[in-house]
Chain A
Amino acid sequence: MYKNHYNPVHCIIPPYMLTRMMESDNKKIADLAINSNFRSVRFRNDRIFFQKASLQEKTILGLIDKQSGKEAMQMEVYDCKQKTDFTGANLLWDSKNNQKITSVAGKNAIKGGKAAWDFYWQLFGRNSIDNKGLLIKQYVHFDKGMDNAYWDGRRMVYGDGDGSVFTSFTSDIDVIGHELTHGVMENEANLDYENQAGALNESFSDIFGIMIKQRYYNQDVKKSTWLIGEKVMIGPKYAIRSMKAPGTAYINHPELGNDPQPATMDKYQNLPNTQSDDFGGVHINSGIPNFAFYVAAFNMGGYAWEKAGRIWYAVLTDVSLAQNAKFADVKNLTIIHAQKIFGINSSEVIAVKQGWSEAKV
């Protein structure tokens, strides 16, 4: 959340280069480097400080307004009436007035948004997307037949689906939780949206999305189907992704063919980092860390959010998680956090290691 406070050009200078620049005989270069380094140190220290601060401390510092300090979810749901203009969208529902609405997509967005907010607040004390009580804005009925849902940096947007392959993207709580988690991610590790870091970004959204759904329906690791978007995709045999068995969410689909997700690192797809190739296959290779999480959570047993969820949340909010992290980096951090939370030789640490081992990372 503090990453945008300074010039992004400065951010991309690696530390070793900054050190060399600070020692430069050219005063302008040295000043620039010192200034940049100072800001980097300030940023990191600020982030650590604010991350450790209690809700009360944050409220005292004015980072949270009074209403948010009372753990009040703030949410608005808008109807785009199948247009693409956000400014012309009608307010359907807001948490202050709690209007009665008839729109199914609107009701779904409220249900999923509340489930996601409750999940983050009740389990991790996280106050909304930015941990400062951000007003959650959701837009339903966006565009005509749009078969998609996305997070644009400010809001969650859902299409109604094309009616033949997909129905409304509000139909599954995991999809809503997935989009809200993209917002959480942007305020935390903010992983690059490309290649392995992008696949991890997508995986964190699927992981928290599925746990939000499991918690809402009181499903333990055995009861859950571990399917993402099982209602959104039309047809009882189909879902958008399977975390339990990546690559099997849809087989021989008349329009989509076969699910392209790999479950293991030896099947990682090296795709070009272009728009048309999903920025290096961020929605494809996410199957690998998804599978690692599934195995870890399943082997721990019980409810996924009670143990595995705590570990993955600790990683998501760990300041040492680099924006360009690779699968191996997250593997190491999940082991470290499992050791910290449950003990070095705990069964949870073994389960985490088993998860990454099964995914061949």
Chain B
Amino acid sequence: MKIKLIRTGGFIPITKAAETEVNLSEKELASLLVIIQPDPAAPRIKDGNYYELTVGANSTPVDLEKVPDEYKDLFSKLKSDLRIIK
């Protein structure tokens, strides 16, 4: 399946995105999204960046600090591939 990482926010609010093909079952993906969901009570970081993961038509906010070890390389590559959406 294709997943897309989208980054928004920042000192200058620009949107960046990167996508890749992954070999994940729907169950694995659902489990991952639960693990990396942001804390809804977390205070807003001033000028902070925010991330969301898009799969198909669904977008979910994610906290990259919570990415489990087995997925770190995947998200590291996605982050380095982020490009400005014009």
Give the interface of A toward B (CB within 8 A).
Answer: 84, 144-145, 147-153, 165, 169, 175, 178-179, 182, 186, 193-194, 201, 205, 229, 233, 240-241, 255-257, 275-276, 278-279, 281, 283-284
Q: Of the candidates B11, B52, B61, which one forms a contact with A149 in the assembled complex, judged by CB atoms under 8 Å apart?
A: B11
Complex Cα distance A169/B14, Å?
15
Q: Which of B8, B10, B45 has the most chain A CB atoms closer than 10 A to its own CB?
A: B10
Whether B12 contacts A229 by the Cβ 8 Å rule is yes
B45 touching A153, Cβ below 8 Å: yes
In contact, A150 and B48 (Cβ under 8 angstroms): yes
Minimum distance in angstroms from A134 CB to a CB of chain B: 16
B84 A276 Cβ-Cβ under 8 A: no
- Within 8 Å by CB of B50, from A178, A182, A229, A275, lies A275
Flag if B45 contacts A151 (CB, 8 Å).
Answer: yes
Beyond A84-B65, A151-B46, A257-B86, 17 additional pairs, beta carbon < 8 A: A144-B80, A147-B14, A148-B11, A148-B48, A148-B49, A150-B11, A150-B45, A150-B47, A152-B46, A175-B11, A179-B46, A193-B46, A205-B46, A240-B12, A276-B50, A276-B52, A283-B12
What residues of A have a CB within 8 angstroms of the CB of B6 in the complex? Answer: 276
CB proximity of A196 to chain B, nearest CB, Å? 15
- Chain A residue with Cβ nearest B43: A153
Question: Contacts of B48 on A, CB cut-off 8 Å?
Answer: 148, 150, 152
Q: Is the CB of B47 within 8 A of A182?
A: yes
Contact of B11 among A165, A240, A276 (CB under 8 A): A240
A194 contacts across to B, CB distance below 8 A: 44
**Contacts A201-B46, A257-B86; is A275 near B12 (CB within 8 Å)?**
no
Roughly how many angstroms separate A145 CA and B11 CA in the complex, as a whole number?
Answer: 15
Set of chain A residues within 8 Å of B14, measured between Cβ atoms: 147, 256
Q: Is B13 an interface residue (CB 8 A)?
A: yes
The 8 closest A-B pairs by CB, nearest first: A150-B47, A182-B46, A275-B50, A278-B13, A148-B10, A193-B44, A151-B46, A276-B8
Interface centre among B44, B47, B52, B65, by most chain A C-beta atoms within 10 angstroms, is: B47
**Contacts A148-B10, A148-B11, A283-B11 given; does A275 touch B61 at CB 8 Å:** yes
Residues of A within 8 A of B10 (CB): 147-148, 150, 283
User: Do residues B8 and A275 form an inter-chain contact, with CB atoms below 8 A?
Assistant: yes
The distance in angstroms between the C-alpha atoms of A84 and B48, with both chains bound, is 14
Instruction: Decide yes or no whether B15 CB sits under 8 A from chain A.
Output: yes
